[in-house]
Amino acid sequence: SQKIEQNSEALNIQEGKTATLTCNYTNYSPAYLQWYRQDPGRGPVFLLLIRENEKEKRKERLKVTFDTTLKQSLFHITASQPADSATYLCALDMDTGRRALTFGSGTRLQVQP
Amino acid sequence: DAGVIQSPRHEVTEMGQEVTLRCKPISGHDYLFWYRQTMMRGLELLIYFNNNVPIDDSGMPEDRFSAKMPNASFSTLKIQPSEPRDSAVYFCASSSFLISTDTQYFGPGTRLTVL
């Protein structure tokens, strides 16, 4: 079955540094991968989508890479701020033609001022 | 648009009671998803609908769980009878493939506590 792995340990970095989060998956070749942000007590919020034929996607201070050979996506936040502190989830489409997503367990990011 | 609306936001009940969670998706979205989130298991898909029709309910844990979508603007998730292990945050999400591929828009969630 499809498996998604995200670093379960919290990532602590200093303000202004670049945060890099990892998402690894097995047993599947997704058509795309999505990243969501979740704050405590709230639902996940969509950030970025990257397709299998795209190597990199950017949005303001966010950058996502997608390596289908390594079965890995990296999520970068440059010039991180304390307001970036949250849990970040990656998600894959479950199957061609189906619209449901499988979510990773998320990585908690803490940006220290 | 107000986004996905869920009610109640918090529910505390006793074991054996019936619990009904409600969701109003974003207008115009044709997909609706129910998830459950716990520390141990993360975010799990329970069931999803397309145009009010259940497509995949393989994530529904037991027959105690049931979901309906009587129209495009309303869905319910019912647990009867509830058990302490059902305690979790339940999220509803909606999407429209035509508008935004498979981006899902989540509601604020219902925190369920079964005593």
Tokens of B100: 């935004």
Q: Is the model's pLDDT at A93 over the cut of 90?
A: no
Q: Distance (Å, rounded) from C-alpha A19 to C-alpha A78?
A: 7
A99 chain-B contacts, CB cut-off 8 A: 31, 48, 50, 55, 95, 97, 102
Contact (CB, 8 A) for A64 and A57: yes
Number of H helices, E strands in chain A: 0, 11
B48 chain-A contacts, CB cut-off 8 A: 99-100
Q: Which residue, among B92, B94, B5, B6, has the nearest Cα to B43 in the 3D structure?
A: B92
Lowest-pLDDT range of A18-32, A39-53, A63-77, B25-39? A18-32
Q: What percent of chain B has pLDDT over 90?
A: 85
pLDDT in tens, A2-57: 689 998 789 999 999 999 999 999 877 888 899 999 999 999 999 999 988 898 99
pLDDT band at B102 (very low <50, low <70, confident <90, very high): confident
pLDDT at res. A95: 65
The count of residues in chain B is: 115
**Least CA distance to A48: which residue of chain B?**
B103
Q: What percent of chain A has pLDDT over 70?
A: 94
Mean pLDDT of A55-67: 95
Q: Distance (Å, rounded) from C-alpha A96 to C-alpha A66?
A: 18
Q: Is the model's pLDDT at B100 over the cut of 80?
A: no
**Parallel/antiparallel/unpaired status of strands B42-50 and B31-38:** antiparallel
Q: Is the model's pLDDT at A1 over the cut of 80?
A: no
pLDDT at res. A52: 87
Query: Which of the residues A99, A102, A103, A105 would you substitute to probe the B interface, choosing the one with the greatest number of B C-beta atoms within 10 Å?
Result: A99
Which one-letter amino acid corresponds to residue B83? E
pLDDT band at B79 (very low <50, low <70, confident <90, very high): very high
Instruction: Tell me what the pLDDT averaged over chain B comes to.
Output: 94
Instruction: Tell me what the pLDDT averaged over chain A comes to.
Output: 91
Which one-letter amino acid corresponds to residue B84? P
